[in-house]
Structure 1
Amino acid sequence: MTDALIIGGGSGMGLALARTLLAEQMDVTIAGRSADRLAAARAELAPAAGGRVRTVRADIGREEDVAELFDHLGSVEHVVVTAADVTGAYGRSADISASAARSVLDVKLLGAWLVGKYAAGRVTGSLTYTSGINAYRPNGSNTIVAAANGALASLASGLALELAPVRVNVVSPGWVDTPVWDRLGMDKRAAFADLAGRLPARRIGTADDMAQAFLSVLRNGFVNGTVLHVDGGHRLV
Structure 2
Amino acid sequence: MTDAMIIGGGSGMGLALARTLLAERMDVTIVGRSADRLAAAKEELAQAAQGKISTVRADIGREEDVAELFAWVERVEHVAVTAADVTGAYGRIADVATAAAEAVVDTKLLGAWLVGKHAVGRVTGSITYTSGINAYRPNGANTIVAAANGALASLAYGLAIELAPVRVNVISPGWVDTAIWDQLGMDKQAAFAELAERLPARRIGTPNDIAQAFLSVMRNGFITGTVLDVDGGHRLLT
TM-score, reference length from structure 2: 0.98
Larger mean Cα displacement after TM superposition, 37-46 or 124-133: 37-46
CA distance in 1, matches of 2:48, 2:214: 21
CA distance in 2, matches of 1:161, 1:121: 15
One-letter amino acid matched to 1:16: A
Aligned residues: 237
Counterpart in the other structure of 2:191 = 191
Question: Structure 2 matches for 1:36-115, cutoff 5 A?
Answer: 36-49=36-49, 52-115=52-115
Alpha-carbon offset, residue 227 of structure 1: 0.1
CA distance in 2, matches of 1:101, 1:47: 38
Is the partner of 1:153 in helix, strand or coil?
Answer: helix
Task: Kindly indicate whether the alpha-carbon contact (under 8 Å) linking 2:131 and 2:150 is maintained by their aligned counterparts in 1.
Answer: yes
Is the partner of 2:48 in helix, strand or coil?
Answer: helix
Is the partner of 1:95 in helix, strand or coil?
Answer: coil
CA distance in 1, matches of 2:26, 2:205: 25
* Consecutive unaligned residues in structure 2, runs of 5 or more: none
* Consecutive unaligned residues in structure 1, runs of 5 or more: none
Question: Structure 2 matches for 1:192-231, cutoff 5 A?
Answer: 192-231=192-231
The runs of at least 4 aligned residues of structure 1 exceeding 6 Å deviation read none
**1:15-59 CA-partner distances (Å, limit 9, x unpaired):** 000000000000000000011110110010113226600110000
CA distance in 2, matches of 1:186, 1:139: 15
Task: Kindly indicate whether the alpha-carbon contact (under 8 Å) linking 2:6 and 2:18 is maintained by their aligned counterparts in 1.
Answer: yes
One-letter amino acid matched to 1:13: M
**1:141-163 CA-partner distances (Å, limit 9, x unpaired):** 00000000000000000001110
Task: Kindly indicate whether the alpha-carbon contact (under 8 Å) linking 2:28 and 2:51 is maintained by their aligned counterparts in 1.
Answer: no
Alpha-carbon offset, residue 184 of structure 1: 1.4
Counterpart in the other structure of 1:117 = 117
Shift of the 37–166 alpha-carbon distance from structure 1 to 2, 3 Å rule, reads same
CA RMSD across the alignment: 0.8
One-letter amino acid matched to 1:133: I
2:148 matched to 1:148?
yes
TM-score, reference length from structure 1: 0.99
CA distance in 1, matches of 2:16, 2:100: 28
CA distance in 2, matches of 1:98, 1:11: 26
